[in-house]
């Protein structure tokens, strides 16, 4: 349970452009989604929490105007990296709270690898 | 500062041996504890979860939790070369149980054939 898909799975973009990452819930209604990122050779860090129908909450140090999160429906949350720079190159992963999984376990989806050149 | 600490390794064990991975956490309010395995370039894969003090066994894996000592461990018996990966310890961020996770930096395990 609580299967999510992300699209694209990997993307390369040029510095200064924007990239949208989609996170779709396939077998549950995602009222909340957590967005993490993982820089090369580092661990996962929570970026923000999106909630359907309300504004996302961002972690300290994460620029909300740069990382636009929109939780448009119960099956779709999106992260848009605006004016991307090479330092934004990272692995971005969305995941729902574990109580949305049928077995109450915390799984992670496939993630999106972003490379900014 | 809520932190999860792990020895970064690398931890090298011979094939067939027991690998012991350790983790400490700072926030006593954490209620959910997880071990993930992550291969290079891949998303973390859930290995074990544990919520109460004591041991929890699943196949070759045993998770141990000691809330008084704020300590979580993972034992891997009969280690295989395919177990070579980075192991991430994660604990939930209080309050509550269904909250985001705080991750350690991971321990790289190398199982030598």
Integer Rg of chain A from CA: 13
SS3 B73: strand
From first to last of its 113 residues, chain B has per-residue pLDDT tens of 569 999 888 999 999 999 999 999 999 999 999 999 999 989 999 999 999 999 999 999 999 999 999 999 999 999 999 999 999 999 999 888 889 999 999 999 999 99
Q: Test A98 with B98 for CB contact under 8 angstroms.
A: yes
pLDDT tier at A106, thresholds 50, 70, 90: confident
Give contacts of A106 with chain B, Cβ < 8 Å: 32, 34, 46, 49, 90, 101
Using alpha carbons, list the distances in angstroms from residue B107 to A76, B7, B48.
33, 6, 15
The alpha-carbon gap from B56 to the nearest alpha carbon of chain A, in Å, equals 15
Q: Test A110 with B103 for CB contact under 8 angstroms.
A: no
| Res. A1: pLDDT tops 80 | no
Kindly state the DSSP code that residue B7 receives in the 8-state scheme. Answer: -
């Amino acid at each position: 349970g609580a299967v999510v898909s992300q699209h694209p799975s990997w993307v390369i973009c040029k510095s200064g452009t924007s990239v949208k990452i989609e996170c779709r819930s396939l077998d549950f209604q995602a009222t909340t989604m957590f967005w993490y990122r993982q820089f090369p050779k580092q661990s996962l860090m929570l970026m923000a929490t999106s909630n359907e129908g309300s504004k996302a909450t961002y972690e300290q140090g994460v620029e909300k105007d740069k990382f636009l999160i929109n939780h448009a429906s119960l099956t779709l949350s999106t992260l848009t990296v605006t004016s991307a720079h090479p330092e934004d190159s990272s692995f971005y992963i969305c995941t729902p709270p574990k109580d949305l999984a049928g077995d109450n376990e915390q799984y992670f989806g496939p993630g999106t690898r972003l490379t900014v050149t | 500062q809520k932190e999860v600490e792990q020895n970064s390794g690398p931890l090298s064990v011979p094939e067939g041996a027991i690998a012991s991975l350790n983790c400490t956490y700072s926030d006593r309010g954490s209620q959910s504890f997880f071990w993930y395995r992550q291969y290079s370039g891949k998303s973390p894969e859930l290995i074990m979860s544990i919520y109460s003090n004591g041991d929890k066994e699943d196949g070759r894996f045993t998770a141990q939790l000691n809330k008084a000592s704020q300590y979580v461990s993972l034992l891997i018996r009969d280690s295989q070369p395919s177990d070579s990966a980075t192991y991430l310890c994660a604990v939930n961020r209080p309050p509550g149980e269904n909250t985001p996770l705080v991750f350690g930096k991971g321990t790289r395990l190398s199982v030598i054939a």
